[in-house]
Amino acid sequence: MAEYKEAPADATAAQKLLNWVDNRFPLSKLYNEHVGEYYAPKNFNFWYVFGSLALVVLVIQIVTGIFLVMHYKPDAELAFASVEYIMRDVPWGWLIRYMHSTGASAFFVVVYLHMFRGLLYGSYRKPRELVWIFGCAIFLCLMAEAFFGYLLPWGQMSYWGAQVIVNLFAAVPFVGPDLALLIRGDYVVSDATLNRFFSFHVIAIPLVLLGLVVAHIIALHEVGSNNPDGVEIKAKKDEKGRPLDGIPFHPYYTVHDIYALSVFLLLFSAVVFFAPEFGGYFLEYNNFIPADPLKTPAHIAPVWYFTPYYSMLRATTDVMVNVLVGLIAIGAILAVLKGGLSGKGKLAVIVGALVAAGLLKAFDAKFWGVVVMGGAVVIMFFLPWLDRSPAKSIRYRPDWHKYVYGFFVFGFLVLGYLGVKPPGVWGTPQVMGMAVDIAAVTSQILTLSYFAFFLLMPWWSRMGEFKPVPERVTFAAH
């Protein structure tokens, strides 16, 4: 049992109240450990504001979601009308709804930038592997939360988008049809599906998401924050045990984050008040039409933050599967001829290649599309063990590494753009008597490059001439 501390005789009423709480709950201890006496590197730059912004957007989504649930009806006959009621009749309902819809897109913008910063500065490297894994789990949860919430307005794109995505699960061998039926709760997307999605969106996933966010922050504060130099500030401490290159999170970075928050809220408010649909990317125009099971939209596509993965799904065709089989064969031949392997090693490579090729041809391309789409997210969990670079930060890696990261981001953005557009958006010229969809071929090449970025990382991350990493952080006062 902790020692009971008496407040000083001359303490103010507020100090006495705080002392009373501290004797029963570690309020001051928690504040000091995670804010007041949490020492962060003094060389943070603007890339380090997105974690705090993600937390702010999470609060916005929870608060606006609570008010929306007060008036929303999770019923296939009433859902669309209840959204219109919120927009037209509930006082300030339009603002709450637009804040929630804009917040969903803002969440992904902020999280994508937050993850990219981790990629740039090696924030997933030892000892922060668990921090990264919790972050990836948050991202996965966020995708599920957005997917389940996407159906709730019960508009045309909500309905048909959910129909397409749920049907993908039917491609899973053996259990696919039963799995799709379990998710839908019916043989088609219906009232049962809407109720299931509503339950997951409002209760189940937010609870898991909040738990993961808490675990992410606790894990981060246990090992300390990374910095643009990738130098561990805990290695150099003063006589009081404080990092020489660290400063208290409060007030230095609270002010830093409040400034960033002000800029973010200006942009967020500009979208909410002047362009909530954002040209049909944040709120698709088809979603202002009630769901009609008898009328399929001309082009069905998910919201923009899912489209890179949707592009990968569409890119996985029978032709691409054959290309993958060919690449496996070429890789196996090179490994056997040039790899310097022993007899058993060569046999293992040949057997492994035959098994991989057999599996690729055993199941149809639709199933492998689902695997590719899911694998594009799951592979990020393994990043701490794929990166073998001697330097954490991009600052001290070979200059050509920056072009590798740049191409990775460019490819991801192009995949996102192509996922929004219908097939054949860039034309289908005749090549050797066959119509070739340029956009589809581009998606296939970029999908392969996406996975190559990760799978070949153990090799390319060690290549090149690295710059010497300083013992302490580099910092210029400003």
Query: How far is residue 45's CA from residue 452's CA, in Å, rounded to a whole number?
Result: 30
Residue 316's nearest CA partner among 448, 434, 456, 179 is: 448
For the beta carbon of residue 423, count every other beta carbon within 10 angstroms. Answer: 13
At 168, list the tokens: 């993908």
Query: How far is residue 118's CA from residue 125's CA, in Å, rounded to a whole number?
Result: 9
Residue 221 annotated in ligand binding: yes
Strands (E), 313-369: none
Cis peptide before 127 (omega within 30 of 0): yes
Residue 478 annotated in ligand binding: no
At 77, list the tokens: 């006959």
* SS3 state at 21: helix
Q: Are 194 and 75 in contact (CB under 8 A)?
A: yes
Please return the burial class of 49, using the count of CB atoms within 10 Å of its CB with bins 0-12, 13-18 and 19+. Answer: buried
The sign of the torsion formed by the CA atoms of 202, 204, 205, 210 equals positive
Query: How far is residue 259's CA from residue 249's CA, in Å, rounded to a whole number?
Result: 14
The sign of the torsion formed by the CA atoms of 112, 116, 117, 122 equals positive
Strands (E), 422-468: 430-431, 434-435
The sign of the torsion formed by the CA atoms of 301, 307, 313, 317 equals positive
In 363-437, where does DSSP find H-type helix?
Answer: 365-378, 383-386, 399-420
Helix axes 176-184, 156-168, angle to 10 degrees: 150
Residue 256 annotated in ligand binding: no
Please return the burial class of 107, using the count of CB atoms within 10 Å of its CB with bins 0-12, 13-18 and 19+. Answer: buried
Residue 216 annotated in ligand binding: yes
For the annotated binding site for heme b, the residues are: 100, 114, 201, 216
Annotated binding site for a ubiquinone: 221
Binding-site residue numbers are 100, 114, 201, 216, 221
